[in-house]
């Protein structure tokens, strides 16, 4: 809904933006930790492992980092550095071309291999994890690359897709993905919509962050509220 | 503190000028403004009603409060006025005797400032979104015109001919800009999400097209390969040294590119709201360290630091959408025009007196100090002027 005429109060900034009330002691993560890695670790703790019966590695979205650190370009650079040295993996999550999921490589490996226990695809997946992940920081792979550079056969690629490590992007190219992440995406989008709704429905369309975090969430919201708050602030769906 | 730092300090303290008004002539939204490069004294504005107005920005009234008077107007009563909204106006870069305007009435008119009559009219087949004359060209006098048609026309002011056409885009061309560094380099932005950089001396196609992923095919979905944005690209601006190019698109992103290599510098400005279906006119400061970008964002103007991408401040003051903004290089002032038919002037709050007579030098330093951010106080204790 686009108002044809902006409200006078908008011009004169009468509406005080009160969402950034963390300064008043409610949260302790606004203290500008310069280290991106520790922020990542903190955000990972917000991820609900029990919800997925521990089958998923902890996932954080790249824009959640923007809600904690002010300098987005710096965040991007640091994330790329971590990816270069192989500690972090980035995934295209699919529901938004700009939403990238970040997972620690060690976490990813353990979970994927645990999920592959007893399955026939196990060896192929292991081979993939050993060969491809350390050498290549891409988000997607084309058929050419898989066949020629990494020397996988067609049937092995099918096995990788079946196990969930690769998802089809288009004919002849695949995204790197997290197995069983469908549930994650579904709950995430649901929860995001619900939290946004909570903010929009409140009086004047604003909420104190401390207040919001204390509210009872509907059954739609399966993740801890803070996780969603970092997400919507970082993605600039709300203003702090 | 160097001069560049002082200029940056002035930009950081921009607020709405309480003492200066710009004459309100337009009855409708203002689409484009341009300040002449020679003296920085006259400003052109083009409006949605087809009217073009010239203002005198200097204050000779001797009073603190003054209005920038409209010197002359090409109003609705003129025989030569544009029939529909004027989308771009630009002064002839070398003197104020001439200016060029283009409009949705599918024409581009070259005006004589004295008589306010068009010396030349170029007719096109589609709406003209944008035109630009090179600010430094000595060897040519070409005007690049971006229209509804994917082909970019180059019109020659000296001969009136328009045979030179640049082909390469697939959808309407929303913005065209010459490089302020090389007079033969032209950048064009189109609704097909691509930005092409051309050398007009070459007979074949563009030099290169900007790729937001810098060749990393893995990051993009297949359709997004070799695109500058994930949506229509509607704003182009070179930095004043011509080394970098800024582009804005309807995917709510602004990107900074190295203009020589076409590489995306990956500076992340965050979400730069952009709903414009036409071109967006934004401005970059010059000679400040660090440099700033001023982008119209809804009904305010967002100020970002150029190389770090940090949002410095939002300048609020317009009652409706802001369509264009222009930075006055010499005074570090910003003028913005919007749908509310107002042109607002934003000045650094450090200055209290805005009177343009030299004898008032002592006024500038002392009285302004109380309003100054303590971090910049030291800069003013040494007499900058």
Whether A71 and B310 lie within 8 Å, measured CB to CB: yes
The answer, yes or no, to whether residue A34 has pLDDT greater than 80, is no
The answer, yes or no, to whether residue A2 has pLDDT greater than 80, is no
In angstroms, rounded to a whole number, what is the distance separating the alpha carbons of residues B380 and A119? 73
Containing A191, the helix (H) or strand (E) segment is helix A181-201
Whether A73 and B268 lie within 8 Å, measured CB to CB: yes
Long-range contacts made by residues A47-56, C-beta under 8 angstroms, separation at least 24? A47/A223, A47/A227, A48/A222, A48/A223, A48/A224, A48/A227, A51/A187, A51/A222, A51/A223, A52/A180, A52/A183, A52/A184, A55/A111, A55/A114, A55/A115, A55/A180, A56/A111, A56/A178, A56/A180, A56/A181, A56/A183, A56/A184
Say what the pLDDT of residue B13 is: 81
Residues of A with CB below 8 A from B316's CB? 10-13
Q: Where do we find the tokens 């104190």? A: A208
Single out the residue of A105, A103, A88, A109 nearest to residue A58, CA to CA.
A103
Find residues 12-31 of chain A whose CB sits inside 8 Å of chain B: 12-13
Measured between CA atoms, the residue of chain B closest to residue A138 is B218
In angstroms, rounded to a whole number, what is the distance separating the alpha carbons of residues A166 and A3? 44
Mutation for A interface: B29, B215, B218, most A CBs within 10 A: B218
pLDDT tens figures, B136-155: 888 888 999 999 999 999 99
Whether A173 and B222 lie within 8 Å, measured CB to CB: yes
pLDDT band at B221 (very low <50, low <70, confident <90, very high): low
Single out the residue of B203, B172, B170, B173 nearest to residue B187, CA to CA.
B173
Say what the pLDDT of residue A8 is: 52
**φ, ψ dihedrals at A70, nearest 5°:** -75, -35
Average pLDDT over residues B162-180: 90
Average pLDDT over residues A49-62: 82
Say what the pLDDT of residue B309 is: 84
Instruction: Provide the shortest C-alpha distance from residue B78 to chain A (in Å).
Output: 30
Residues of B with CB below 8 A from A92's CB? 219
Mutation for B interface: A3, A5, A6, A238, most B CBs within 10 A: A6
Average pLDDT over residues A222-228: 83
Say what the pLDDT of residue A29 is: 42
CA angle A49, A53, A59 (to 5 degrees): 35
Say if residues B104 and B149 touch (Cβ distance below 8 Å).
Answer: no
Say what the pLDDT of residue A141 is: 79
Whether B316 and A11 lie within 8 Å, measured CB to CB: yes
In angstroms, rounded to a whole number, what is the distance separating the alpha carbons of residues B80 and B101? 12
Say what the pLDDT of residue A7 is: 53
Computed on alpha carbons and rounded to an integer, the radius of gyration of chain B in Å comes to 20
CA angle B186, B253, B318 (to 5 degrees): 95
Lowest model confidence (mean pLDDT) among A155-159, B176-180, B233-237: A155-159
pLDDT tens figures, A16-32: 444 433 333 333 344 45
For residues B371 and A111, the model is more confident at A111
Say what the pLDDT of residue A31 is: 47
Say what the pLDDT of residue B368 is: 34
For chain B, say whether A66 makes contact (Cβ under 8 Å): yes
Residues of B with CB below 8 A from A75's CB? 268
Note the residue count of chain B: 385
For residues B128 and A181, the model is more confident at B128
pLDDT tens figures, A160-172: 888 888 888 777 7
Single out the residue of B354, B359, B311, B362 nearest to residue B333, CA to CA.
B354
Calculate the alpha carbon distances from B245 to B26, B111, B265, B304 in Å: 31, 29, 10, 15
Find residues 198-237 of chain A whose CB sits inside 8 Å of chain B: 235-236
Average pLDDT over residues A190-198: 86
Mutation for B interface: A17, A72, A142, most B CBs within 10 A: A72
Strand partners of residue B165: B153
Measured between CA atoms, the residue of chain B closest to residue A69 is B310
Say if residues B332 and B7 touch (Cβ distance below 8 Å).
Answer: yes
- Kindly report whether the peptide bond that precedes residue B224 is cis, defined as omega within 30 degrees of 0: no
Say what the pLDDT of residue B222 is: 54
The answer, yes or no, to whether residue A190 has pLDDT greater than 50, is yes
The answer, yes or no, to whether residue B275 has pLDDT greater than 70, is yes
- List Cβ neighbours of B236 (8 Å cut-off, separation of 6 or more): B175, B176, B177, B187, B188, B189, B195, B245, B246, B247
What is the 3 state secondary structure string of B157-218? CCCCCCCEEECCCCCCEEEEEECCCCCCEEEEEECCCCEEEEECCCCCCCCEECCCCCCCCC
Buried b (16+ CB within 10 A) or exposed e, B166-190: bebbeebbbbbbbbbeebbbbbbbb
The answer, yes or no, to whether residue B61 has pLDDT greater than 80, is no
pLDDT band at B111 (very low <50, low <70, confident <90, very high): very high
Tokens of B298: 């809804």
CA angle A55, A61, A66 (to 5 degrees): 155
The answer, yes or no, to whether residue B245 has pLDDT greater than 90, is yes
For residues A97 and B221, the model is more confident at A97
pLDDT band at B256 (very low <50, low <70, confident <90, very high): very high
**φ, ψ dihedrals at A147, nearest 5°:** -75, -45
Instruction: Provide the shortest C-alpha distance from residue A50 to chain B (in Å).
Output: 31
Containing B30, the helix (H) or strand (E) segment is strand B30-35
Whether B309 and A71 lie within 8 Å, measured CB to CB: yes
Helices and strands, counts by H and E, chain B: 3, 29
Sign of CA dihedral B16, B22, B28, B30: negative
pLDDT tens figures, B80-93: 889 999 999 999 99
The share of chain A scoring above pLDDT 70, in percent, equals 85
In angstroms, rounded to a whole number, what is the distance separating the alpha carbons of residues A44 and A25? 22
In angstroms, rounded to a whole number, what is the distance separating the alpha carbons of residues B101 and A120? 70
Residues of B with CB below 8 A from A73's CB? 266-268, 308-309
Single out the residue of B341, B298, B287, B306 nearest to residue B45, CA to CA.
B341
The share of chain B scoring above pLDDT 90, in percent, equals 27
Q: Is the ipTM of this complex over 0.85?
A: no
Say what the pLDDT of residue A14 is: 44
In angstroms, rounded to a whole number, what is the distance separating the alpha carbons of residues B280 and B22? 21
* Mean pLDDT over each residue of chain B, to the nearest integer: 83
- Which one-letter DSSP state was computed for residue A145? I
In angstroms, rounded to a whole number, what is the distance separating the alpha carbons of residues A191 and A188? 5
Number of neighbours of residue B373 by Cβ within 10 angstroms: 11
Number of neighbours of residue B265 by Cβ within 10 angstroms: 16
Measured between CA atoms, the residue of chain B closest to residue A136 is B218
Say if residues A83 and A75 touch (Cβ distance below 8 Å).
Answer: no
Lowest model confidence (mean pLDDT) among A3-17, A31-45, B258-272, B367-381: B367-381
- List Cβ neighbours of A53 (8 Å cut-off, separation of 6 or more): none
Whether A73 and B266 lie within 8 Å, measured CB to CB: yes
- List Cβ neighbours of A7 (8 Å cut-off, separation of 6 or more): none
Single out the residue of A108, A97, A106, A104 nearest to residue A178, CA to CA.
A108
Say what the pLDDT of residue B247 is: 92
The answer, yes or no, to whether residue B185 has pLDDT greater than 50, is yes
In angstroms, rounded to a whole number, what is the distance separating the alpha carbons of residues A36 and B325? 36
Coil vs helix vs strand at A102: strand
- List Cβ neighbours of A13 (8 Å cut-off, separation of 6 or more): B316
Question: To 10 degrees, the CA torsion angle through B28, B33, B38, B39?
Answer: 60
Average pLDDT over residues B117-141: 90
Coil vs helix vs strand at B294: strand
Using CB atoms, pick whichever of A11, A170, A173 lies closest to residue B319: A11
pLDDT tens figures, B8-31: 888 888 888 877 888 888 888 899
Containing A159, the helix (H) or strand (E) segment is helix A154-163
For residues B21 and B42, the model is more confident at B42
- List Cβ neighbours of B314 (8 Å cut-off, separation of 6 or more): B297, B300, B301, B302, B303
Residues of A with CB below 8 A from B221's CB? 97, 169
């Amino acid at each position: 809904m686009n108002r044809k005429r902006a409200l006078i109060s908008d011009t004169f900034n009468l509406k005080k933006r009160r969402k950034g009330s963390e300064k008043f002691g409610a949260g302790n993560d606004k203290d500008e930790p310069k280290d991106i890695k520790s922020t990542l670790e903190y955000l990972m703790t917000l991820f609900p492992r029990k919800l997925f019966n521990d089958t998923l590695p902890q996932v954080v979205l790249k824009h959640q980092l923007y809600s904690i650190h002010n300098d987005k370009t710096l965040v991007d650079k640091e994330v790329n550095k971590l990816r270069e040295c192989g500690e972090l993996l980035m995934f295209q999550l699919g529901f938004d071309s700009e939403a990238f999921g970040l997972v620690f490589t060690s976490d990813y490996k353990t979970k994927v291999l645990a999920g592959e226990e007893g399955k026939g695809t196990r060896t192929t997946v292991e081979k993939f994890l050993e060969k491809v992940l350390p050498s290549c920081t891409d988000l997607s792979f084309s058929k050419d690359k898989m066949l020629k550079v990494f020397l996988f056969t067609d049937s092995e690629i099918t096995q990788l897709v079946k196990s969930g490590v690769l998802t089809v992007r288009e004919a002849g190219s695949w995204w790197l993905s997290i197995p069983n992440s469908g549930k994650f995406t579904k709950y995430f989008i649901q929860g995001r919509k619900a939290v946004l709704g909570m903010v929009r429905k409140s009086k004047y369309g604003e909420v104190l962050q401390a207040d919001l975090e204390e509210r009872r969430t509907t059954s739609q919201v399966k993740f801890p509220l803070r996780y969603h708050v970092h997400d919507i602030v970082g993605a600039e769906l709300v203003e702090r | 503190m160097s001069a560049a730092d002082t200029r940056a300090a002035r930009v950081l303290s921009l607020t709405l000028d309480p003492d200066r008004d710009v004459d309100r002539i337009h009855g409708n939204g203002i689409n484009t403004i341009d300040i002449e490069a020679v003296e920085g004294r006259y400003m052109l504005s083009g409006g949605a009603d087809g009217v073009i107005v010239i203002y005198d920005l200097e204050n000779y009234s001797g009073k603190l409060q003054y209005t920038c008077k409209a010197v002359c107007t090409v109003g609705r009563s003129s025989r030569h006025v544009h029939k529909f909204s004027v989308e771009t106006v630009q002064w002839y870069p070398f003197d104020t005797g001439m200016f060029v305007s283009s409009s949705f009435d599918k024409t581009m008119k070259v005006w004589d400032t004295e008589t306010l009559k068009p010396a030349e009219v170029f007719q096109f087949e589609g709406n003209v979104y944008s035109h630009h004359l090179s600010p430094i060209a000595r060897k040519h006098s070409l005007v690049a015109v971006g229209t509804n048609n994917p082909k970019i026309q180059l019109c020659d002011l000296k001969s009136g001919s328009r045979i030179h056409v640049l082909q390469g885009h697939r959808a309407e061309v929303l913005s065209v800009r010459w490089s302020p560094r090389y007079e033969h380099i032209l950048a064009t932005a189109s609704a097909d999400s691509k930005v092409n950089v051309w050398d007009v001396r070459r007979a074949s196609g563009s030099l290169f097209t900007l790729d937001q992923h810098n060749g990393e095919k893995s990051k993009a979905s297949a359709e997004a390969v070799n695109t500058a944005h994930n949506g229509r690209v509607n704003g182009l601006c070179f930095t004043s040294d011509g080394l970098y190019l800024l582009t804005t698109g309807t995917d709510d992103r602004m990107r900074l590119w190295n203009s020589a290599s076409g590489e995306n510098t990956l500076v992340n400005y965050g979400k730069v709201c952009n709903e414009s279906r036409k071109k967006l006119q934004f401005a970059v400061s010059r000679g400040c360290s660090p440099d700033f970008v001023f982008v119209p964002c809804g009904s305010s103007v967002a100020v970002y630091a150029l190389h770090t991408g940090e949002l410095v401040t939002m300048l609020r003051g317009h009652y409706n959408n802001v369509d264009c903004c222009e930075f006055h290089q010499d005074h570090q002032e910003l003028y913005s025009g919007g749908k509310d038919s107002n042109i607002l002037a934003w000045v650094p709050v450090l200055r209290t007196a805005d009177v343009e007579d030299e004898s008032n030098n002592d006024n500038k330093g002392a009285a302004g100090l109380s309003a100054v951010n303590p971090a910049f106080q030291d800069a003013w204790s040494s007499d900058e002027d």
